[in-house]
Each structure stands twice: as C-alpha cells, then as structure tokens.
C-alpha cells in the first residue's frame, strides 16, 4: 500500500468527523475550488488574519471547516495542527502526516480527486452501514 494511503486510512480517517467526510465527498465530486492544494488555508494562517473567515483549505482542514463548523483561519489551522500531531503519535513516526500531505499537494488535481474520492467512499462505507430495503421490511414485520 502506498504511504499516503496508509496515513490516510490509519492516521487521518479515524480522526475526521463523518460530517466532514460527507462534505469532502461532495466537494471532491464537484471539484469544489474551496479545496486547495499547496496550502493549509486561504487566507494563509498568519497572525494578522487568524480571525478572518476561511475561504479555502486542504482536505484535512476542509473536514474541520465543514464537519466541525469551524469558521476562522485560526480555528481551521488549530484543527489541522492537532490532527497532524495525532497522526504522528498514532503511527509512531515524527511527521508521518507528510506522506499524505506531500501526495495531496504534488499530485495533479484530477488524479488527486479521483484517488481521494475513492478513499473517502471507502471510509464512509465502513462508518455508515448500508441497509437493504428487504432487511428493513423483515425487521418491521
């Protein structure tokens, strides 16, 4: 398995809210321009703009922004930093998050969206069980 996938599946997904993953699924499918590569947030997380509203963010920040209803650059940056620290601890490697982040930033957008969309669908399928209508009818009887 590629390093970025391992970090995504074992380090990132367990920390990201389901609501954030659902928002990410829709955003990737629609090529939402608010998902940005090469930066954590737009505007960038510098001290003079930490209280400004977020306009765009990487996928980790996007899950916090949309899933946790974070609003400001500072809030999203704090979420991002905490998630990355936790990934490093969970995987037992300093800066383990870099495998995913480098892949995300350096992969052409269309390819990144295709691969990550598949991964988000996979993650959500493990969290949200799909029930067949027939099973529901049997339980209701």
- Per-residue pLDDT tens over the stretch 21-64: 999 999 999 999 999 999 999 999 899 999 999 999 999 999 99
Q: Would you say residue 3 has pLDDT above 90?
A: yes
Q: Which pLDDT belongs to residue 130?
A: 60
CB 57 within 8 A of CB 35: yes
119-128 tens-digit pLDDT = 999 999 998 8
Report DSSP letters for 43-64, one per residue.
Answer: S---GGGTTSBP-EE-HHHHHH
Residue 8, pLDDT score: 98
| Closest among 85, 106, 113, 77 to 12, alpha carbons compared | 85
Do 21 and 60 touch, CB atoms closer than 8 A? no
Share of the chain above pLDDT 90, in %: 87
């Amino acid at each position: 398995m590629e390093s970025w996938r391992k970090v995504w599946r074992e380090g990132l997904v367990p920390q990201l809210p389901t609501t954030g993953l659902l928002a990410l699924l829709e955003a990737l499918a629609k090529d939402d321009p608010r998902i940005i590569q090469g930066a954590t947030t737009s505007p960038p997380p510098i001290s003079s703009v930490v209280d400004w509203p977020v306009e765009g963010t990487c996928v980790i920040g996007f899950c916090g922004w949309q899933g946790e209803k974070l609003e400001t650059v500072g809030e999203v940056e704090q979420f991002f930093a905490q998630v990355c620290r936790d990934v490093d601890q969970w995987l037992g490697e300093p800066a383990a998050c870099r495998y995913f982040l480098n892949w995300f930033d350096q992969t052409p957008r269309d390819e990144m969206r295709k691969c990550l969309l598949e991964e988000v669908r996979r993650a959500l399928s493990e969290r949200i069980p799909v029930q067949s209508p027939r099973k529901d009818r049997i339980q209701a009887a």
